[in-house]
Amino acid sequence: MRDRFWSDYRAGLRALAAINAPSAVCTIYEPRFADPLMRRVAAAALALLNDVITREAFDSELALVDLRLVCARDEDFANPIEPSAIGARRIADAVRRYAEGAPPATRVFR
């Protein structure tokens, strides 16, 4: 699954590069399942995909909005897999900081 995702993701980033527009990518936030074991399993599985996203962001010299850091509290979620109003606001704020032109040395936005 990881290899297929990586291939598809890389192709998508190449297509994005072809339009030559300022761009950033986002990691996938970790869900907030009530069951601690399910939460750890989901985080471990998503780590495989987030690793691809992170590596490709740096290889492509794209900014990265790390949603694992942006939505890191239980209050950031309305249910196990969807952001709450608080989480959505945090995501919007992180994207806004990127769009407003955070310093070029800042590659991870949170």
The candidate with the shortest Cα–Cα distance to 60, out of 7, 17, 103, is 17
Tell me which residue has tokens 């590596």: 55
- The residues pairing with 79 across neighbouring beta strands, listed in sequence order, are 82
Written as tens digits, the pLDDT of the chain (110 aa) is 999 999 999 999 999 989 988 889 999 999 999 999 999 999 999 999 999 999 999 888 888 899 999 999 999 999 999 999 999 999 999 999 888 886 655 556 66
Name all domains of the chain by residue range, CATH numbers in brackets. 2-109 (3.40.50)
